[in-house]
Amino acid sequence: MKTVRANGAHIPQLGFGTFRMPEAEVISILPKALQSGFNHVDTAQIYENEAAVGEAIRTSGVARDSIFLTTKVWVGNYGRDRFAASVEESLKKLKTDHVDLLLLHWPNEAVPLEVQIGELNAVRERGLARHIGVSNFNTALMAEAVRLSAAPLATNQVEYHPYLDQMKVLEAAETYGMALTAYYAMADGKVPNDPVLKEIGAAHGKSAAQVALRWLVQQPDVVALTKTATDSRLAENLAIFDFVLTPGEMMRIHKLARPDGRIVSPDGLAPAWDKAA
């Protein structure tokens, strides 16, 4: 698996995401994903499946030190009285003494960002997380987080797919030496049936989904998360490193972006998103 280097972190470029995956589904599919070649797993406290992820890693037979494991602290745990304890609880569920990457899941104005970043650094200093970062931050919040953090931030995990222009976030990440980790790569089911992506895929003997994933990882310092509960899709999702999109094909895909392309923007959590470049 190719990796993205980001402020000392070596993040496998394709990750297995577990958002909205029930525990039984995680226990069923994740060991197979790990055995098939995925070595980057993404979960979160709010997904309520960390224990299943930990169990799946244990039963997979794949060594923990060969897996890049990410989890995210939920906004309700950002206060000084809850942050470290919530991370310790996550590690207990995950059956590990550390995660490779720990993220703030969403912005939360109820707790000063200085406190959030301070707590994130404190658990890193204790060895509970090897690397730290943020998720769903706009460029202004990224700048402030970088300024406040003693340790370099490895990534900003955000929604990113062909229908959403994230050039401003990408450019900011590059400035700070950070990666951009893309979630919702399939745009909630829109990607597999897109005629442009299908046409490009036909030229390479690939599916529209593979084209979208390839488009993501072919961009500098972009990591893509993918998810499936179907055994046969595991190999398909991994098979994106044996072809290259032309500059013209990359541009055609970028041009699919539209002003209303954002899918995930929950009230009470979402910041003021950057406008398209």
Q: Note the pLDDT tens digit of each residue in 46-60.
A: 999 999 999 999 999
End-to-end Cα separation, the chain, in angstroms: 31
pLDDT tens track for 69-106: 999 999 999 999 999 999 999 999 999 999 999 999 99
User: How far is 70 from 138, CA to CA, in rounded Å?
Assistant: 20
User: How far is 168 from 257, CA to CA, in rounded Å?
Assistant: 13
User: How far is 155 from 141, CA to CA, in rounded Å?
Assistant: 13
- pLDDT at 277 exceeding the cut of 70: no
Percentage of the chain modeled with pLDDT above 90 = 98
Catalytic positions = 47
In this predicted structure, what is the pLDDT of residue 28?
Answer: 97
Cβ–Cβ under 8 Å, residues 113 and 77? no
User: How far is 54 from 207, CA to CA, in rounded Å?
Assistant: 31
In this predicted structure, what is the pLDDT of residue 23?
Answer: 97
pLDDT tens track for 187-215: 999 999 999 999 999 999 999 999 999 99
In this predicted structure, what is the pLDDT of residue 53?
Answer: 98
In this predicted structure, what is the pLDDT of residue 276?
Answer: 81
Average pLDDT, the chain: 97
Cβ–Cβ under 8 Å, residues 113 and 147? no
User: How far is 112 from 107, CA to CA, in rounded Å?
Assistant: 10
Q: Which two tokens stand for residue 253?
A: 């895909």
User: How far is 102 from 114, CA to CA, in rounded Å?
Assistant: 16
**CATH top-level class of 3-188+220-233:** alpha beta
User: How far is 12 from 215, CA to CA, in rounded Å?
Assistant: 16
pLDDT tens track for 101-155: 999 999 999 999 999 999 999 999 999 999 999 999 999 999 999 999 999 999 9
Domain boundaries, the chain: 3-188+220-233
What is the residue type of 117? I
Strand 179-183 with 153-159, pairing: parallel
HEC-encoded secondary structure of 25-76: HHHHHHHHHHHHCCCEEECCHHHCCHHHHHHHHHHHCCCHHHCEEEEEECHH
Count of beta carbons in the 10 Å neighbourhood of residue 103: 27
User: How far is 196 from 225, CA to CA, in rounded Å?
Assistant: 22
**Nearest by Cα to 145 from 172, 123, 181, 110:** 172
Q: What is the pTM of this model?
A: 0.98
At 65, is the pLDDT very low, low, confident or very high (cuts 50, 70, 90)?
very high
User: How far is 116 from 80, CA to CA, in rounded Å?
Assistant: 8
